[in-house]
Amino acid sequence: MRKLFFAALTFAIDALIFYGCRPEQSEFDLSTLTEKATISGQIVYDAGVDTTANAYTINMIKPASERVVYVEIPYASYKAGSDGVKRYETITDAEGYYTIEVPTTPDGIENVQIRMQEFTAYRSEYKKMEAGKPVFETKLYRFSYEPAPFTLNPGSIEFMKESDKACSYTLVDLEGFEESITLKGNIQLAQEVGFRQGVYTPAANATVEFVASYSGVTDELTFGTTTDASGNYSITLPLKSYEEGFQNLSASVRGMGQNYTHYNAVESTMKLSGAYKSADILSNISATDIIEGMDYEMETMYMKFQPGYNGLTNSTDGVRPSTWAENLAGWEKYDGFTETKTVTGRYLLAVESGFGVGTYANPRQEAKVVIEYPGNDNRGMEKVVYVNTDAEGNFSFEVPVKDAEESLSVSFASLGNTILFDHYMLPDKMVKLEGKYQTEVAEVKELATLWNEMGTAYYAFTPTPSADLDEMQWSGNLAGWKQATALENEYEGTQVVTANVWIPVETALGVGEYKNANNLLVEFSVDGETYVAPVINGAVNMTVYTQNNSSEPNVSVTSATLKEKNFKHFEVGGKEKILVGKYATYYSTPADKREAWNQLGDVYLKFTPDNAPDNWDQWYSYLAGWVRIGNVEPAAQNVTGTLYMAKETAYAAGTYAAAANTLVRAVVNGTVFVGVTDQNGAYSIPVLFNPTSGTPSVSVVPFFVENEVEYKHYTTADASETQDVVYSAYNSFDTRIDGYTPWYDRGTIYYKSPVSSENLLDWVNKENEVTKEYRNSLNISFTVKEAIEKVNGSVVEAAWTPATTLRKVRVYVEEPATGFVGSYVTSVTSSKNISVKVKSVESSYSVVIMPEDGTSAQLNAFRHYEDNSKPTVFSTIYGYYASADNAVGVFSVEGNSLIKVTPSAKMNFIPVRPSSMPDGWSTYVWDITAD
């Protein structure tokens, strides 16, 4: 048998467009049409009699399978006056059926034409019996299908009647074709027998067509045959002569539509629709060296399945899965390459075996390899091949070569397709991350020396960018994944690095402490290489790769990657918030304090909110329980003290109240420590300092001297307002005595009122007690009286009565020994006993009682008798009271350190309306010396 190699094996994509419109057809915009019509039918042809069957007088009706069907509609049928023809195309299936949908109008369209692409085939007819045997006549016929034009209305139309199905046929004149040639070949179909495992199986019952052109014959002739169960075919073609042969000869396999079983994972399959695509076996053939009586063997045809292919076009949208591969190991076949070489290697993917635990394996059980065929012997090309591996990434596959000595170039390639990665965001919570294996991190030849011994490739996973990656605790630098670069760099040692990791928490306002970190990832630098390891119950145990087992790389903590969503935060004022943010490295045991280079000791993290609340950076981030200092062994001490704030308790009355539950900032040698006061205003802040630097410098700042707090101010006897105020750090006094009080004892600090500058009694007493050591009490009793007109029998007299209005009173007390005059403000209605602090109680004091004058802006009603002899006739006038300035004098101190101020402090009435001098007003004279 002679092999006839007419031309190189080629794969040609059909140029027909499924349901498409050629540019030259465009005339009318069909997208405006909403009505549709479906045309369906079956096409068959009379294939003559079966010369091998007993029923040789019965004609066989065969389906016109896999033939192009055209639906042609004049544009004028859509819109009068339009030019051109709109053509739609489809292809018949194996039974000759076709279906096609086209747009129409509500009233239907006329002159619709269906036709089939013509084909030729041999047809045998029974002629007679001769010597007891049937005699047949076999001739070549051209088959066509073109029913009469019809009108197409919305809906559907079928051509299913026997008279509608049949092709017409005409005899092809082959007069003079007295010789023949027999061509034989084999067709193989690519199939999958496992994930990334390809084989070829015989294409049983495949249609093979040869298109021949002959010198002197105008039309090309098509001859067809069918493969057997082993994929073999044999066909005899007519020749005018062996010397003349063919002018051109091409052969193709008709597309084989079917459902294809595709392995989309190791133990998972899916059905794909499509076809084994038609491919030319030969093209542009000219053969004139044909030998009489010899069968010729064609090149074996290897066909691959095309998802979504319909015999006309590659319409793959929605049908080609992401796991589809054009080439699998086992599908590489080339005529003339009778030898094979076994290519081995290992293809490892970064995977997670637990929370923060990285390793290499190949759970996908696939690899991607590039095979480069050299030279210009019809092969000079690169082929990308997918290969099946075991769970450890090992693979072995055969590649065709010309001879056993041939060497090819083989290399690893990244998978590149989007997959779902099993990622542990917590020990008990796994999520799927979308991404790709697209970066080779290392390639290790190990003991591989031959070209077909590929060694080991390591690939990193890259997730699709997403704002959720931080929250999911993704890191591409897990410690276990560093093994790949270590092997590539020929590192031979491993060491275990340990650390205790702590995270900050708030347990109450101003109270911070550390607890064991758990279920988060921490980033380390190992000689500049980034390692990430998990923290479980506060501990890290991380294997690092070193040049040898005695290496001591430089290791430090760089950051933590956990995004915290539930950080509980306490604010001044009693509010609580849940904050979202990240942990980052704050402090770790200095290198010279570690027990060994790989025992990192304690690592403290700090929390940074995404949207920091007010005062976070100035106050809350420095809670004393969180602060760590420098490279010395620190000394510890509590900075203590008590804070009081001036408050108003009523009109012209105040006190110093404990500054309860407020933050306090102690700055020790420049380091900030924040604590909190208790209900009594006392604080005790644990601080750290360098004991070798002498006595620490300390300052204490309460929260309310930098931030607004609420202050209630009484503006009148019956009115108040709440203001947001800031107290002044400089408008204060304290109990501390520099040089005597220890540095850490800040004493008691009193912050004066930021609103009222009045010398309210208790405020002055407290300041005198603290700053002047006035600890003795002088008690002063006084009364305030108001002028009235009083009926006394038949007359009306000027008189005094205890005051009924709450008013502010200023009290001045002069100490005879020192000449110091104390000014005090209090409030009184009529009588009051007050106590003022003095250095010592003397026998007498100069005292002034001065009630505050009223004003014309707030008038009092006054009963006025114009005629003091008419006690029943009166009117109401309006005015205000003003001090008579009479309660002045030197007063002796009685028992119980008491001074009684007499006479009472008088308040004259000042008329305003209806006039400042009402009728009869001058009749009344009030004696300010009489009570």
Predicted TM-score of the model (pTM): 0.70
- Bridge-based pairing of strands 155-159 and 280-282 is unpaired
907-909-914 Cα angle (round to 5): 165
CB 184, CB 297: distance < 8 Å: yes
Q: Which domains does the chain have, with CATH numbers?
A: 2-187+206-226+235-253+284-289 (no CATH), 337-476 (2.60.40), 491-610 (no CATH), 620-757 (2.60.40), 763-923 (no CATH)
- Residues 6 or more apart whose CB falls under 8 angstroms from that of 242 comprise 179, 181, 290, 291, 292
| Average pLDDT rounded to a whole number, residues 599-613 | 93
| pLDDT attached to residue 318 | 54
Residue 757 binned pLDDT confidence (cut-offs 50, 70, 90):
confident
Residue 926 binned pLDDT confidence (cut-offs 50, 70, 90):
very high
Please tell me the number of Cα atoms within 13 Å of 422 on its side-chain side.
Answer: 15
| pLDDT attached to residue 317 | 53
Q: How far apart are CA 37 and CA 102, in angstroms?
A: 6
What does R_g of the chain's alpha carbons equal in angstroms?
Answer: 53
Residue 70 binned pLDDT confidence (cut-offs 50, 70, 90):
very high
| pLDDT attached to residue 886 | 93
Residue 213 binned pLDDT confidence (cut-offs 50, 70, 90):
confident
511 closest CA partner among 407, 426, 406, 626 = 626
| Average pLDDT rounded to a whole number, residues 439-457 | 88
The length of the chain is 931
Q: What is the mean pLDDT of the chain?
A: 88
**Each residue of 404-446: pLDDT tens digit?**
888 889 999 999 888 999 999 999 999 999 999 989 999 998 7
Residue 257 binned pLDDT confidence (cut-offs 50, 70, 90):
low
DSSP class of residue 23 equals G
Tell the residue number behind the tokens 């300390």, with chain if given: 698
Predicted confidence (pLDDT) at residue 738 exceeds the cutoff of 90: no
Residue type at position 772: K
| Average pLDDT rounded to a whole number, residues 727-746 | 92
**Each residue of 312-367: pLDDT tens digit?**
655 555 578 888 998 999 998 876 788 899 999 999 999 999 999 999 999 999 99
174-175-176 Cα angle (round to 5): 110
| pLDDT attached to residue 281 | 60
Instruction: Considering only residues 560 and 36, tell me which one the structure prediction assigns the higher pLDDT.
Output: 36
Instruction: Considering only residues 199 and 300, tell me which one the structure prediction assigns the higher pLDDT.
Output: 199
Residue 204 binned pLDDT confidence (cut-offs 50, 70, 90):
confident
CB atoms within 10 A of CB 238: 18
CB 860, CB 854: distance < 8 Å: yes
Predicted confidence (pLDDT) at residue 285 exceeds the cutoff of 70: no
**Which two tokens mark 620?**
């809350």
| pLDDT attached to residue 377 | 54
433 closest CA partner among 458, 465, 480, 481 = 465
Q: How far apart are CA 235 and CA 207, in angstroms?
A: 11
Residue type at position 538: G
Residue 837 binned pLDDT confidence (cut-offs 50, 70, 90):
very high
| pLDDT attached to residue 630 | 76
Residue 763 binned pLDDT confidence (cut-offs 50, 70, 90):
very high
| Average pLDDT rounded to a whole number, residues 118-129 | 85
CB 911, CB 879: distance < 8 Å: yes
Predicted confidence (pLDDT) at residue 542 exceeds the cutoff of 60: yes
| pLDDT attached to residue 311 | 58
**Each residue of 545-593: pLDDT tens digit?**
999 988 899 998 887 767 788 999 999 988 999 999 988 888 988 888 8
Q: Is 104 exposed, middle or buried (0-12, 13-18, 19+ CB in 10 A)?
A: buried
Predicted confidence (pLDDT) at residue 374 exceeds the cutoff of 80: no
Least confident of 363-377, 564-578, 722-736, 839-853: 363-377
Predicted confidence (pLDDT) at residue 4 exceeds the cutoff of 50: no
**Each residue of 480-532: pLDDT tens digit?**
999 999 999 999 999 999 999 999 999 999 999 999 999 999 999 999 999 99
Residue type at position 286: S
Predicted confidence (pLDDT) at residue 279 exceeds the cutoff of 70: no
Q: What is the largest CA-CA distance in the chain?
A: 176
| Average pLDDT rounded to a whole number, residues 386-396 | 96
Residue 24 binned pLDDT confidence (cut-offs 50, 70, 90):
very low
Least confident of 69-78, 281-290, 814-823, 899-908: 281-290
**Each residue of 614-636: pLDDT tens digit?**
899 999 999 999 998 876 778 99
CB 327, CB 386: distance < 8 Å: yes
